[in-house]
Chains A and B, each alone.
Chain A
Amino acid sequence: QQQVKQSPQSLIVQKGGISIINCAYENTAFDYFPWYQQFPGKGPALLIAIRPDVSEKKEGRFTISFNKSAKQFSLHIMDSQPGDSATYFCAAKAAGNKLTFGGGTRVLVKP
Chain B
Amino acid sequence: EAQVTQNPRYLITVTGKKLTVTCSQNMNHEYMSWYRQDPGLGLRQIYYSMNVEVTDKGDVPEGYKVSRKEKRNFPLILESPSPNQTSLYFCASSKGGLASYEQYFGPGTRLTVT
Contacts and interface: CB of A to CB of B under 8 A. Distances in A.
Contact of A32 (B40, B59, B101): B101
A102 B100 contact: no
A6 B59 CA distance: 18
B66 interface: no
B43 A44 contact: yes
B109 to A, nearest CB: 10
A98 B48 contact: yes
Interface residues of A, number: 25
Given A97-B48, A97-B50, A98-B48, A46 B102 contact: yes
Interface string A1-40: 0101010010000000000000000000000101000000
Contact of A89 (B43, B48, B94, B102): B43
Q: How large is the interface on B (under 10, 10 to 19, 20 to 34, 35 or more residues)?
A: 20 to 34
A101 interface: yes
A59 B31 CA distance: 27
B40 A43 contact: no
Contact of B107 (A34, A42, A97, A100): A42
Nearest to A9: B40
A2 B31 CA distance: 23
Nearest to B90: A43
Contact of B45 (A9, A44, A98, A102): A98
9 contacts: A6-B42, A32-B101, A42-B107, A43-B107, A46-B101, A93-B100, A97-B96, A99-B43, A101-B35
Shortest Cβ-Cβ A-B pairs, 10 listed: A43-B105, A97-B100, A101-B42, A32-B101, A101-B43, A103-B42, A93-B101, A34-B101, A46-B102, A97-B31
